[in-house]
Amino acid sequence: MSTLTTTVASRPAYKVTGRRVLRSEWAKLWSLRSTWITLTLGLLFLLVFGLLISWQFNAGNLDGDFATSKAVDLSLFGVPFAQLALGVLGVLVMAGEYSTGMIRSTLAAVPRRLPVLWSKAGLYGLVATLVGTAGALVAFLVGNQFVSGTSAAQSLSDAGVARSLLGAGLYLGLIGVISVGLGALLRSVAGGISVLVGVFLLAPGLTSLLPSSWQDNISPYLPSNAGESMYALTHDSSTLSPGAGLAVFLGWTVLTLAGAAYRLRRNDV
């Protein structure tokens, strides 16, 4: 009996700290096969679509709006496709634990709950930002070689180029954060992905059915349009400036996380 008491008493007391929660979530993120597959898909979407459209421009197969495009515009053509891949993974990172029941173990280990949400959103947002920035930069550097000698050719030192590439990476990173928030808010992989697709793909098209005066007041503030203004090279009166687009998109991000945090704190698993 004394030996058992001594053994129990000698066990070290482990405290739940932010660093340990981060390490735990980092390990869980990279232990999933879907992480590697989906991040690879997101990177490939950026590269393949960006390089393909640059090659088509050089071959003279593009007209209309593409006729006046610059290298950075062409290289970021794959961003809307990459956002879907990265967004789906973000939903899986959080909602996947609810579907498997693993969330019970996670919240038992971290009773305060919110550090789990902040860790998942922060870590995945950082990973998505790095993948997006790297993909955008490589797509620009290689795609610019395709259009060398044409009116689309640019260099990194040209006005707006670096800002556009960094803006694309940041946009994809915030997409990751929003998708994690949706996963925590809806607690359903299918529901989170459906809302993600509806907001970023369907909503912009639906606004075209509204009266023109409404479109002008609503369309620029939709998440997808505000996010696009973050990395667009040129802007007009119907779009937000890069700074304003970032502010609006950050607002949507904070709103999603606030809703997720409220439900995580108020509702049982």
111 pLDDT higher than 90 = no
Taking CA atoms, 15 is separated from 53, 111, 118, in Å, by: 52, 12, 18
Report pTM: 0.91
Model confidence over 6-64: pLDDT tens digits? 444 444 455 778 888 999 999 999 998 999 999 999 999 999 999 999 999 888 777 77
**How high is the pLDDT of residue 4?**
46
Task: Read off the pLDDT of residues 61-97 as tens digits, 9 standing for 90 and up.
Answer: 777 778 788 999 999 999 999 999 999 999 999 999 9
**Which residue in 15, 26, 86, 79 sits closest to 53, CA to CA?**
79
| Average pLDDT across the chain, whole number | 90
In the block, tokens 């860790």 appear at 119
Torsion sign, CA atoms 188, 190, 195, 197: positive
pLDDT in the model for residue 7? 45
Domain range annotation of the chain: 17-266
73 phi, psi to nearest 5 deg? -65, -45
